[in-house]
Amino acid sequence: MGPPGRGCYARPVDRNSADPSIPAVASTAVADDGLTVLYDGACPLCRREIGLYRGLEPTQPLAFLDISDPAATPAADLPEGLPRSELLARFHVRHADGRLESGARAFISLWDRLPYWRWLARVGRLPGIAGLMEIAYRGFLRVRPALQRRVRRRG
């Protein structure tokens, strides 16, 4: 957690978290300069990756929002203009100003706030690199369903 009185550093945990040792926090509120990570909590790969990120102390306000369960995250809490299915199909982050990013650019924005990952954000901002990362991410999205099935079978 961040400094006392700075609830914006809270790391909310969904009930399906890959790391149950991380304490649950009720609020997903972020400060004016915060970033909200929208992720598919029903995806075992996504839960594991988000669990890694949650275990780190962000350098800037950061919140995580599992958007997989409509009962837990009503449509009113989602960004306007995109159906839940589109949000679940790709990785998204929402900036405090409402701007939405997806794919490689979303990862770059997230990594920029995390220790041990900032170097990768810097690399991603080099000319042409974000485009290459996006191509790799789209390739991953093609095999994601097969990987999810494999992870589910292993338990």
Is the pLDDT at 28 greater than 90? The verdict is no
Is the pLDDT at 67 greater than 90? The verdict is yes
144 class by beta-carbon count within 10 Å (0-12 exposed, 13-18 middle, 19+ buried): middle
List pLDDT tens digits, range 133-150: 999 999 999 998 898 888
Is the pLDDT at 4 greater than 80? The verdict is no
Distance CA 118, CA 109 (A): 9
Is the separation of the CB atoms in 56 and 42 below 8 Å? no
37 class by beta-carbon count within 10 Å (0-12 exposed, 13-18 middle, 19+ buried): buried
List pLDDT tens digits, range 79-122: 988 999 999 999 999 999 999 999 999 999 999 999 999 999 99
What pLDDT, on the 0 to 100 scale, is given for residue 151?
82
List pLDDT tens digits, range 8-24: 333 333 333 333 333 33
User: DSSP secondary-structure letter at 23?
Assistant: P
CA nearest to 54, candidates 124, 129, 138, 110:
110
What pLDDT, on the 0 to 100 scale, is given for residue 25?
33
CA nearest to 38, candidates 103, 119, 131:
103
